[in-house]
Amino acid sequence: MNIYFDHNATTPIDPRVVSIMRSLEELPLNPSSMHMYGRKARKHLQIARKQIADRLSIPESVLYFCSGATEAVNTLLQGFSRTVKAHIISSKLEHSCIRQTVSHLEKTGVSVTYLPLENAPNAATISLEALEKTLSHFPGKNTLVALSSVNSETGAMLPLEEAARLCAKYEAHFLVDSVAQVGKEPLFMYEGISAMCFSPHKFYGPKGIGFFYAKELFPFSPLLYGGSQEKQRRAGTENILGAVGAAKAFSLAIDELPTHRSHMLHIREMFESRIQTFFPQLMIHAEKKRTCNVSALAFPNIDAETLFIRLDQEGFAASLGSACSSGAVEPFPALLAMGLDEKIARSSIRFSFGRGNTLQEVTKATSCIENILKQISGF
């Protein structure tokens, strides 16, 4: 029996999304064409854009389709830095699409401030006090704050409303990566938010499609040049099937959130509780304020790579850091950014649950973990 506990990496496509995409797959849909098929394509693209924009309570004119959140983040960060003499405020906690792009821009001479974390045990998000202090030194429209609303590695939730308020107070732009939030927690478009990025394959939609919001006064130049698609902000023939699938997945994620959130929270609590009964020294990262579906767990004095491999062999999928250039597995960057001892970071595995997971799967998985821990540690 294969069990998938890695939904923060990607999710299966909802059959209802597949169905609506398949209804169009045999049509030659290019919105730039002038004939009837082109008009059909433009109509489907317009409907998909409106469906998403309405859910976000934003005008259709400020919603753009692209290939995914990585492209969206690069478009906005690099495009902003090419347009103004930018100062970027971010942190080492962010997803690599923000972290690596900011690092690249810093190497090209862009001014960057990395925020410290809040001063608390197991701190897993940025210090709002430090954010305000930094914004007071770099106020105005040339400053861009780039943060994730949810950390995909720990599930830690940024105090988004407070961060947006501070950005508005100091008239700075605020770019939010919301990839790990949709379908897990309610989403609000606070007044201080200038741009927001989304990736449908994280909420049961298709891969190869993404979308982002960028308000009218947010300055950015295109990342890709060529055609005049997406109001000349993103060249390339639009992915109509992807856009239609993304709109459907986004609507389902919002409509069904209360039910699925309650279910995933119950799954997570049972999972952690069962492990703590036989492994009481378990550490839960970002325990206090995190999304409903993430259990980022440290098993002190246990080699997480060994545990991960054994789980994989038994048919259980979870997540273990990332492979570096030498092929070795590196701990999750967020855990190191949190200041955790590297030994603890290397004993950590992320389990991320989805709406299709069951209590039966939790029972099987935790029993398997208990057996493996007994074999590799002799506890």
CB half-sphere exposure, 220, CA atoms < 13 A: 31
- Residues ≥6 apart with Cβ < 8 Å to 283: 297, 298, 299, 300, 344, 348
The secondary structure of 205-239, three-state, reads: CCCCCEEEEECCCCCCCCCCCCCCHHHHCCCCCCC
Residue 279 near residue 379 (C-beta atoms within 8 A): yes
Residues 6 or more apart in contact with residue 345 via CB below 8 angstroms: 298, 331, 332, 335, 336
Angle at 211 between CA 17 and CA 320, to 5 degrees: 80
DSSP string of 170-206, one letter each residue: TT-EEEEE-TTTTTTS-----TT--EEEE-GGGTT--
Question: CB under 8 Å to 75, separation ≥6 — which residues?
Answer: 66, 212, 220, 222, 223, 224, 233, 234
3-state helix, strand, coil in the chain (%, to 5): 45, 15, 40
Q: What is the DSSP letter of 60?
A: G
Q: Please give the span between the terminal C-alpha atoms of the chain, in angstroms, as a whole number.
A: 26
**Tokens in use for 30?**
């290019």
Query: Which residue out of 97, 292, 324, 368 is catalytically annotated?
Result: 324
| Residue 197 among the catalytic residues | no
- In the numeric block, which tokens belong to residue 265? 């929270």
Distance CA 89, CA 72 (A): 18
Q: Which is nearest to 76 in space by CA: 208, 161, 176, 164?
A: 176
261: tokens are 């959130």
Residue 378 per-residue DSSP state? -
Catalytic (active-site) positions: 324
